[in-house]
Amino acid sequence: MKKLVLAVCLCATMLGFAQEKESRGGRERLAPEQQVQLQVKKMTLDLDLTAKQQKEVEKLLMDQSKKREEARATQGDVRKNYKEMTADERFALQNKRMDDKIAFKGEMKKILNSGQMEKWEKQSEMRQEKITKRTRNFKNNAPE
């Protein structure tokens, strides 16, 4: 009887490990256009955008998405390559990212009114804090 129970437990354990792991919960990534549309709709709900503002924001987000895809294609996996980069290369990469953020914020200022801009900045800060917190938790829980 003990051998039978042991065999069943062993088989159950092996079956559990034999299952194929799915990346990102097995979900397929949305197309960039779909992501932008969802992002615009969420911003419309949060910031009460007009139809004209929606079109301008959608165009801006599409441009940003295309730039991001181009950067991914040229740089490959930045996380892997980041440690191998020289200090000057890392500085140039971070400097370019900051310039892009400044330009994006400037464009958003042109599109949004002052109340909407204030609310958007507050949401951006909250998103950044959330990302920072998640990164800290990941680093603290990472095996060494």
- In the predicted model, is pLDDT for residue 103 greater than 90? yes
- In the predicted model, is pLDDT for residue 12 greater than 90? no
Q: What is the pLDDT of residues 77-90, one digit of tens each?
A: 666 666 777 888 88
Closest among 57, 38, 75 to 116, alpha carbons compared: 57
Rounded to an integer, the average pLDDT of 34-60 is 93
Single-letter amino acid code for the residue at 5: V
For the chain, domain boundaries = 30-130
Specify whether the CB–CB gap between 52 and 112 falls below 8 A. Answer: no
Contacts of residue 37, defined as CB under 8 A and 6 or more positions apart, other chains included, come to 58
